[in-house]
């Protein structure tokens, strides 16, 4: 059976996972609309793969109307779209993290849903994170919760769009050696920028916690084991799940005894 080539739109392809995904799709014989905030950072992809890659400027935090008009433009580039990958991600600043990881991904997805519903097929991929599961980790509150929100949104969406032949995948990578992870503020001894964490930095009670997370990221920096060219299964997620199951076992009797006595 011959392979039916697909058209992908991928956000945040200027570096890391997104950029590698463009190459992977091209290797399969697929066509890609590579998007990025700055076109200058992805024009080389179009030059290298003129038959497979077209580029489009897209900042996922743009207002919805702007994203929608770019989506209309995108659909015309290869005369259709089969897969949308919400890869663009941010980890360093509270508001930007949510605007990019959560609302950006939702807005991009929503602009393509009418099109996918009409054609009765389409695949939406969310690049979540192991951090959305391993939330019990110092310094992971903003980023981890943004990815946890994304996981929940993707789970619900998968059920909502199933009747229209649309598939939703929730990918949760971890520890992939990319520019993003290596440029995190923690690595340079800075706390993520937000009103909240800036004030935490000034509170000496948190010195030890900040030192521990900084040391963690500095020691793992450039030693991450994940290869963005491969699929990654993370064992920490399984550890966390077993921990939750153990907790439920321990508290099972108490939980069962909280019903209204009617």
The residue ranges that bind ligand NAP (CB under 6 A) are 11-12, 14-18, 36-38, 41, 59-61, 87-90, 100, 104, 127, 129-130, 173-176, 178-181, 226
Neighbours of 182 (CB within 10 A): 14
Minimum distance from residue 35 beta carbon to ligand NAP (Å): 7
Which parts of the chain fold into alpha helices (H)? 16-27, 43-48, 64-77, 94-98, 105-119, 141-161, 179-182, 195-201, 207-220, 235-256
Residue 36 beta carbon to ligand NAP: minimum distance, rounded to whole angstroms: 6
Nearer Cβ to ligand NAP (104/122):
104
User: 85: which strand partners?
Assistant: 10, 125
User: Least CB distance from residue 58 to ligand NAP, whole Å?
Assistant: 6
CB of 214 to ligand NAP, least distance (A): 17
3-state secondary structure of 175: coil
Taking the C-alpha atoms of residue 141 and residue 147, their distance in angstroms, rounded to an integer, is 10
Q: Which is nearer to ligand NAP, 15 or 123 (CB)?
A: 15
Pairing type for strands 166-171 and 31-36 reads unpaired
Nearer to ligand NAP, 93 or 117 (CB): 93
How far apart are CB 73 and ligand NAP at their closest, in Å? 16
Map 54-107 to HEC letters: EEEECCCCCCHHHHHHHHHHHHHHCCCCCEEEECCCCCCEHHHHHHHHHHHHHH
Instruction: Name the nearest CA neighbour of 14 among 42, 47, 33.
Output: 42
Nearer to ligand NAP, 169 or 206 (CB): 169
Q: Kindly tell me which of 117 and 237 has the beta carbon lying closer to ligand NAP.
A: 237
Closer Cβ to ligand NAP, 222 or 250, answer by number: 222
> What SS3 state is found at 205?
helix
């Amino acid at each position: 059976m011959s392979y039916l080539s697909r058209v992908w739109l991928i956000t945040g392809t200027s570096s890391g996972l997104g950029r590698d995904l463009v190459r992977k799709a091209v290797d399969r014989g697929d066509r890609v609309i590579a998007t990025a905030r700055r076109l200058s950072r992805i024009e080389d992809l179009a030059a290298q793969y003129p038959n497979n890659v077209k580029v489009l400027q897209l900042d996922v935090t743009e207002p919805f109307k702007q994203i929608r008009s770019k989506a209309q433009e995108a659909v015309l580039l290869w005369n259709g779209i089969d897969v949308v990958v919400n890869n663009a991600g941010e980890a360093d600043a509270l508001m930007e993290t949510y605007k990019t990881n959560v609302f950006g991904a939702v807005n991009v997805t929503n602009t393509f849903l009418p099109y996918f519903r009409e054609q009765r097929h389409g695949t939406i991929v969310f690049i979540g994170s192991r951090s959305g599961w391993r939330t019990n980790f110092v310094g992971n509150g903003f980023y981890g919760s943004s990815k946890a929100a994304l996981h929940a949104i993707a789970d619900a969406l998968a059920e909502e769009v199933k009747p229209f032949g649309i598939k939703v995948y929730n990918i949760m990578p971890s520890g992939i050696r990319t520019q993003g992870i290596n440029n995190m503020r923690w690595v340079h001894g800075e706390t993520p920028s937000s009103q909240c964490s800036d004030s935490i930095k000034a509170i000496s009670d948190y010195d030890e916690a900040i030192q521990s997370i900084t040391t963690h990221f500095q020691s793992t920096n450039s030693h991450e084991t994940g290869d963005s060219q491969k699929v990654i299964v993370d064992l920490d997620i399984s550890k966390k799940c077993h921990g939750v199951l153990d907790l439920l076992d321990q508290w099972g009797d108490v939980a069962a005894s909280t019903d209204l006595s009617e």
